[in-house]
Amino acid sequence: MTTFRGFWRNKTTMEPAATVTAVANTPTTELIPIDLEIASNDPLLAYIQQHPTVFDVTQLKLDSPAVTAMRQVGIRLVVPLVSQGELIGLINLGERMSDQEYSSDDHKLMSDLATQAAPALRIAQLVQQQKLEAIERERIAQELRVARLIQQTLLPQALPALAGWGVSAYYQPARAVGGDFYDFIYFPDGKVGFIVADVTDKGVPAALVMATTRTLLRTAAERLESPGAVLARTNDVLVQEIPPKMFVTCFYAILNPATGHLRYANAGHDVPYHYTNQGVVELRATGMPLGLMPGMGYDEKETTLAPSDYVLLYSDGLVEAHNPAREMFSFTHLQALLATHADGATLHEFLLAELAAFTGPAWEQEDDVTLVTLQREETVNSNQLSVNSEPVEFEIPSGPGNERVAMERVAELVGDWLPAPRLEKLKTAVAEATMNAMEHGNQYDPDKPARLKLFLDETATSTGSVRVASVRVTITDQGGGQPSPAAATPDLAAKLAGEQSPRGWGLFLIKAMVDEMRVHQDDHHHTIELVMHLADQEEA
Amino acid sequence: MTEKKTPFAAATKLAEQTAVILMRGEINQDADAALTATYADAAQMQPATITLDFGGVDYINSTGIALIVGLLAKARAAHIPLTAVGLSDHYREIFTITRLSDFIEIQ
């Protein structure tokens, strides 16, 4: 039962004359409010529930604050208005204007009036309630329209167009409009930032926090190169502005499209997956969500996408979707699905079909579903180097161990041109030269790749035809300006005696493995050129 | 990066008077600690000879050559002859070019 309030008194009449409704309202009268409120736990209401008939307040023996108040404002007769067993109002009458007592006929008249008035009042109340609900529904609908508009305005209008890369994005808001967003940031040096984030809460508040966060991330990314530093800076500003109990999870990565190198940091967002031809790897990096506490640090990690690798960024709307049995789609299920799907271009279609099959047709989407995929395309010139083909060029990001990637790629490209023993020699020479380029030339800076270029050199034969004379590989680093050491023969005896470092075999090995070795350099680059003659093998 | 890295691993067994160091994976900078520790285990057995078994090794780079030079220096200081087995033809040639084969018997 609710509290009754909002009683009015006829100003032109002598006290008491208070009613809740049905007070004659002539041009000479004016209704003014009286200070009377019946609390929901007042014994009077329990009494009326048990005796829903007209009663005289002055005759009522009840320890009730409401009754006391009624007497004080001059109420004499109370007429309960009951509809379908529910008390929906009271008609309160003061003393009769004739100064006579209320008669039994008066009581019956008021009782009949209440019987007629109560249903009408109830209908009026319901109409009013429906009007209020309609207004509330329209307010919510309007809020959703605004939230969607904000969200659509913030999402990128176009996908990054990167040579050698395929980028795709999918965003499906839940009915209630969640707080997902994604963004791309383009840097002058060609790198691209990828953001996927999820704001707690829904509707306009989430959309506004989303807009703020996006701006803060972009501002920080303009000034700071490190993804971890960008998240830390964003967090420190956002924590001062975000409403209580709201926060933002966010994954931020910077891709160097030239090398496939990806640096990333994570503020409590769902861990992205990196598809490689050897399995699916989680891109883990620890960090608290944005906006919870100031002074947070964010781990920064890195990886490199090889040709055909892809990375999937996503939001919890996918992994936390439920099927009719209330089971979750789950991270492990997602990871297992990715392991079966190598094509990043059709990944979203594939995952959405799997999601639909999992949830069933009656599923009402619980949260926003966001998917962003970046896939490094297969290198166009990945086949064998052939006669009349253009030289093949590729890059290897500088990092310990990556020389083996260079070595294997070269073997794939020229394997048909060299017998196995000579191919092994070239592989060793390429590995050593690439290692030197990455370590000494590029200081293992992953943004400074070693660049390899392969040629088939042709020569004219005595019969006038043209044949391939040699396989040539150049390996270039970005460490020019300093003279290269000569390929001296190491003194093993001195090394064994401890008079020299046991190291220093690289250049010696390279020179010993190939038929020709040449070194070129300018102010910015250092190139080593390796040649294997095919004529030599024919003669051998 | 999807390079096919095989982490280095090494173990020692004593057969008669010979300590055999079984190796697999890549001998590069990352192999330093494991190779040094395994050699120490082998030397503690006070063998007449130490055999380096390269049967499971698929890659040796110049840093790996330097590690083997370091082992050879320790073995020579301890007057323990080194032998090598399981080398591919390619790495046999590298042992020859580097003159390691002058100090390590290649079997």
Provide, for chain A, the percentages of residues in helix, strand and coil under a 3-state DSSP scheme, each rounded to the nearest 5. Answer: 35, 25, 40
State residue B6's pLDDT score: 67
Sign of the CA dihedral running A333, A337, A340, A344: negative
Same domain for A29 and A60, yes or no, is: yes
Percentage above 90 pLDDT, chain A:
51
The answer, for A379 touching chain B at a CB cutoff of 8 Å, is no
Task: Give the 3-state secondary structure of residue A11.
Answer: coil
Name which of B2, B67, B69 is nearest A276 (Cβ-Cβ).
Answer: B2
A313 falls within a domain:
yes
Rounded alpha-carbon distances, angstroms, from residue A473 to A309, A440, A468, A525:
26, 19, 14, 16
Q: How far apart are CA B97 and CA A197, in angstroms?
A: 57
Name which of B2, B5, B76 is nearest A306 (Cβ-Cβ).
Answer: B2
Q: How far apart are CA A175 and CA A209, in angstroms?
A: 19
State residue A535's pLDDT score: 64
* Comparison of pLDDT for A239 and A481, the residue scoring more: A239
Provide, for chain B, the percentages of residues in helix, strand and coil under a 3-state DSSP scheme, each rounded to the nearest 5. Answer: 40, 35, 25
* Comparison of pLDDT for B13 and A348, the residue scoring more: A348
Lowest mean pLDDT across A20-29, A147-156, A162-171 = A20-29
Model confidence at A150: pLDDT above 60: yes
Q: How far apart are CA A369 and CA A372, in angstroms?
A: 10
Q: How far apart are CA B52 and CA A382, in angstroms?
A: 38
**CA of B75: which chain A residue's CA is closest?**
A496
Q: Could B65 and A304 be called an inter-chain contact, meaning their C-beta atoms sit closer than 8 Å?
A: no
**Nearest-CA distance from A196 to chain B in Å?**
23
Model confidence at A86: pLDDT above 50: yes
Q: How confident is the model at residue A485 (pLDDT cuts 50, 70, 90)?
A: confident
Question: What average pLDDT score do residues A248-273 get?
Answer: 94
Model confidence at A31: pLDDT above 80: no
State residue A362's pLDDT score: 82
The answer, for A488 touching chain B at a CB cutoff of 8 Å, is no
Q: Could A496 and B63 be called an inter-chain contact, meaning their C-beta atoms sit closer than 8 Å?
A: no
State residue A143's pLDDT score: 80
Question: What average pLDDT score do residues A370-397 get?
Answer: 78
Q: How far apart are CA A226 and CA A224, in angstroms?
A: 6
CATH at A108: 3.30.450
- pTM of the entire structure? 0.52
A147 falls within a domain:
no
Q: What is the DSSP letter of A59?
A: G
Model confidence at A25: pLDDT above 50: no
Model confidence at A539: pLDDT above 90: no
Q: Are A76 and A16 in contact (CB under 8 A)?
A: yes
Q: Please, which residues 22-81 of chain B have a Cβ atom closer than 8 Å to chain A?
A: 26, 28-30, 59, 61-63, 65-67, 69-70, 72-73, 76
Same domain for A493 and A345, yes or no, is: no
Token digits of residue A43: 């014994």
Q: How far apart are CA B76 and CA B56, in angstroms?
A: 25
Q: Could A435 and B2 be called an inter-chain contact, meaning their C-beta atoms sit closer than 8 Å?
A: no
Token digits of residue A218: 């972009």
Question: What average pLDDT score do residues A527-534 get?
Answer: 93
Q: Are A151 and A207 in contact (CB under 8 A)?
A: yes
Q: How confident is the model at residue A376 (pLDDT cuts 50, 70, 90)?
A: very high
Name which of B5, B62, B69 is nearest A401 (Cβ-Cβ).
Answer: B5
Model confidence at B4: pLDDT above 60: no
Q: Could B61 and A435 be called an inter-chain contact, meaning their C-beta atoms sit closer than 8 Å?
A: yes
Same domain for A114 and A72, yes or no, is: yes
Same domain for A343 and A411, yes or no, is: no
State residue A350's pLDDT score: 95
DSSP class per residue in A458-498: EEE-TTS-EEEEEEEEEEEES-TTSPPPP-PPP-HHHHHTT
Same domain for A29 and A113, yes or no, is: yes
User: What is the tens place of the pLDDT at every residue in A188-221?
Assistant: 888 999 999 999 877 788 888 999 999 999 999 9
State residue A16's pLDDT score: 39
Model confidence at A463: pLDDT above 80: no
Question: What average pLDDT score do residues A213-239 get?
Answer: 95
The answer, for B15 touching chain A at a CB cutoff of 8 Å, is no
Give the angle subtended at the CA of A534 by the CAs of A532 and A540, to the nearest 5°: 105
**Nearest-CA distance from B20 to chain A in Å?**
22
Token digits of residue A471: 């396989």
Q: Could B1 and A504 be called an inter-chain contact, meaning their C-beta atoms sit closer than 8 Å?
A: no
Q: Are A314 and A385 in contact (CB under 8 A)?
A: no
Same domain for A411 and A502, yes or no, is: yes
Q: How far apart are CA A475 and CA A449, in angstroms?
A: 10
A308: amino acid identity, one letter: S
Q: Across the strands, what pairs with A274?
A: A281, A311
The range of the structural domain enclosing residue A480 comes to 392-539
Question: What average pLDDT score do residues A391-395 get?
Answer: 87
Model confidence at A142: pLDDT above 60: yes
**CA of A512: which chain B residue's CA is closest?**
B97
Q: How far apart are CA B5 and CA A85, in angstroms?
A: 81
Question: What average pLDDT score do residues A120-127 get?
Answer: 91
Same domain for A354 and A270, yes or no, is: yes
CATH at A527: 3.30.565.10
Q: How confident is the model at residue A383 (pLDDT cuts 50, 70, 90)?
A: low
Residue A299 φ/ψ region, left for φ over 0, alpha for ψ in the -120 to 50 degree band, beta for the rest: beta
What residues of B are in contact with residue A408 (Cβ under 8 Å)?
Answer: 3-4
The answer, for B90 touching chain A at a CB cutoff of 8 Å, is yes
Model confidence at B27: pLDDT above 50: yes
Name which of A303, A309, A400 is nearest B29 (Cβ-Cβ).
Answer: A400
Q: How far apart are CA A283 and CA A437, in angstroms?
A: 28
* Comparison of pLDDT for A181 and A384, the residue scoring more: A181
A453 falls within a domain:
yes
Place of tokens 């160097």: A256
What residues of B are in contact with residue A512 (Cβ under 8 Å)?
Answer: 97
Model confidence at A353: pLDDT above 70: yes
Burial call A184-201: b when 16+ CB within 10 Å, e when fewer: bbeeeeebbbbbbbbbbb
Same domain for A60 and A16, yes or no, is: yes
Of A484, A489, A502, A393, nearest to A437 by C-alpha is A484
CATH at A302: 3.60.40.10
Model confidence at A177: pLDDT above 70: no
Q: Could A405 and B29 be called an inter-chain contact, meaning their C-beta atoms sit closer than 8 Å?
A: no
Q: Are A226 and A205 in contact (CB under 8 A)?
A: no
* Helix count and strand count (H, E) for chain B: 3, 5
Q: Could A408 and B61 be called an inter-chain contact, meaning their C-beta atoms sit closer than 8 Å?
A: no
Same domain for A371 and A400, yes or no, is: no
Q: Could A408 and B98 be called an inter-chain contact, meaning their C-beta atoms sit closer than 8 Å?
A: no
Question: What average pLDDT score do residues A41-63 get?
Answer: 91
Q: Are B81 and B18 in contact (CB under 8 A)?
A: no
What's the domain count of chain A?
3
Same domain for A216 and A344, yes or no, is: yes
**Nearest-CA distance from A497 to chain B in Å?**
7
Q: How confident is the model at residue A4 (pLDDT cuts 50, 70, 90)?
A: low
A250: amino acid identity, one letter: C
* Comparison of pLDDT for A234 and B58, the residue scoring more: A234
Q: Could A492 and B69 be called an inter-chain contact, meaning their C-beta atoms sit closer than 8 Å?
A: yes
A462 falls within a domain:
yes
State residue A436's pLDDT score: 93
**Residue A532 CB contacts under 8 Å (≥ 6 apart), including other chains:** A418, A422, A425, A426, A470, A471, A472, A514, A515
The answer, for A40 touching chain B at a CB cutoff of 8 Å, is no
Question: What average pLDDT score do residues A521-527 get?
Answer: 89
State residue A49's pLDDT score: 87
Name which of B1, B28, B100 is nearest A304 (Cβ-Cβ).
Answer: B1
**Residue A83 CB contacts under 8 Å (≥ 6 apart), including other chains:** A118, A119, A121, A122
Q: Could B98 and A303 be called an inter-chain contact, meaning their C-beta atoms sit closer than 8 Å?
A: no
Q: Are B77 and B42 in contact (CB under 8 A)?
A: no
State residue A509's pLDDT score: 94
Name which of B65, B69, B88 is nearest A496 (Cβ-Cβ).
Answer: B69
**Residue A474 CB contacts under 8 Å (≥ 6 apart), including other chains:** A452, A453, A455, A527, A528, A529, A530
In the predicted model, what is the mean pLDDT of chain A? Answer: 86
In the predicted model, what is the mean pLDDT of chain B? Answer: 90
Question: What average pLDDT score do residues B50-69 get?
Answer: 94
Same domain for A348 and A400, yes or no, is: no
What residues of B are in contact with residue A304 (Cβ under 8 Å)?
Answer: 1
Sheet holding B9-15, edge to edge: B9-15, B18-27, B49-60, B82-85, B104-106
**CA of A408: which chain B residue's CA is closest?**
B3
A179 falls within a domain:
yes
Question: What average pLDDT score do residues B19-29 get?
Answer: 92
Q: Could A408 and B1 be called an inter-chain contact, meaning their C-beta atoms sit closer than 8 Å?
A: no
Question: What average pLDDT score do residues A416-444 get?
Answer: 93
Q: How far apart are CA A425 and CA A423, in angstroms?
A: 5
Residue A356 φ/ψ region, left for φ over 0, alpha for ψ in the -120 to 50 degree band, beta for the rest: alpha
Lowest mean pLDDT across A281-295, A330-344, A458-472 = A458-472
Q: How far apart are CA A450 and CA A398, in angstroms?
A: 6
Task: Give the 3-state secondary structure of residue A251.
Answer: strand
Question: What average pLDDT score do residues A384-390 get?
Answer: 68
What residues of B are in contact with residue A428 (Cβ under 8 Å)?
Answer: 61, 90, 94
